[in-house]
Amino acid sequence: MPDTTPDDILARAQAPSVNGRPIRKDEIELHDRGIYVESWLPERRSRRKPLLFVHGELGGSWVWERFLGYFAGRGWEGHALNLRNHHWSQTADPAELSFELYVDDVGAVMDRLGSGVVVVGHGMGGLLALKAAERHPVAGLVLVSSEVPGELRQPAHQHELREIPELYGRSLIGWETLPEKLQRDHRDLTIADILRIQHLMGQKPHESGRARRAMLRGIRVDRRIFAEVPRLVIGAGLDQQVPADVSEQLAEWLDAPYEPFGAHSHYGLVLGEASYQQVADAIRAFLEANRL
């Protein structure tokens, strides 16, 4: 048997299941903001609400490829944005990057898609979704191991904030290490999954330290706005970034249903070849129950 290279593993890990149903791919570009949105659409349009997927730190539309395929193959159009300076969106001046700028990026895409959109956010993307949804009407919210608002967060110490550089990469969140070590902490990910995540997080720092500091200081959210919005919070038992009890607190604070996945990790919830579908099935059930 020939040797398997990392590129071979990455190539196999890139292909999401689309349930055997025809889909087509498209794109949306917001040229004034330098934002690129990757869209996966069912071949035939349906009355289901469009889904907007929002990635977290060091992510991009690549975080959602398996979800885009899953939902497009079942009748939902899915749109995964790339925040400024991420993946396929335009490079930006690091001095301009901030949490508030990211919120505006998300809001601009929400406006483009219309008020009937369901927003799905992961990690920092969940908090971005909450802030953007304060200002832009949404049909539903799904928060997947979401970073929490300031109302639920203990303020960070000043020395912790000072240690965050203006731009940071995967080493700051513990992903600049051996794949085998990462797999011990993320047991729902395969080595192929881990190699893919490391590769797509990039080799160079490109995430906004200013945005991370704002998040750690505490971003306040007006939860009253979501009283009539269908909402779901998902947590992961192996999550070292957003522990499951924190996700459960967020669900209680939002008065939202809570769906725990005890054997999943932070990235395994959305990127695990063998683990993502359980999460996608739960989101699909939520959408169907709320006729979204």
pLDDT of 116-141, one tens digit each?
Answer: 999 999 999 999 999 999 999 999 99
228-274: per-residue pLDDT in tens? 999 999 999 999 999 999 999 999 999 999 999 999 999 999 999 99
Name the nearest CA neighbour of 80 among 125, 116, 111, 45: 125
Instruction: Give the pLDDT confidence of 182-234 residue by residue, as tens digits.
Output: 999 899 999 999 999 999 998 888 899 999 999 999 999 999 999 999 999 99
Strands (DSSP E) along 170-281, which ranges?
207-208, 231-236, 258-261
The residue among 9, 79, 1 whose CA lies nearest residue 42 is 79
Cα separations (Å) of 118 from 78, 286, 289?
A: 10, 11, 14
- When pLDDT is cut at 50, 70 and 90, the band that residue 20 belongs to is low
Domains belonging to the chain, first-starting first, are: 6-287 (3.40.50.1820)
- Local structure of residue 58 (DSSP, 8 states): T
Q: Does the reported pTM lie above 0.85?
A: yes
Give CA–CA dist 73/89, Å, rounded: 26
**Among residues 56, 29, 76, 50, which one has the least CA distance to residue 208?**
56
Residue 19 confidence (pLDDT) above 80: no
The answer to whether 264 touches 234, Cβ cutoff 8 Å, is no
**Token pair recorded at residue 217:** 């200081």
**285 phi and psi, to 5 degrees?**
-60, -40
Q: What is the mean pLDDT of residues 23-32?
A: 90
Judged by DSSP in three states, 33 sits in coil
Q: For residue 70, what are the CA distances in angstroms to 48, 110, 125, 245, 270? A: 14, 21, 20, 28, 11
The CA-to-CA distance between both ends of the chain, in Å, stands at 48
Strand order across the beta sheet in which 35-42 lies: 23-30, 35-42, 78-82, 51-54, 118-122, 140-144, 231-236, 258-261
pLDDT recorded at residue 13: 39
Joined tokens for residue 176:
């600049």
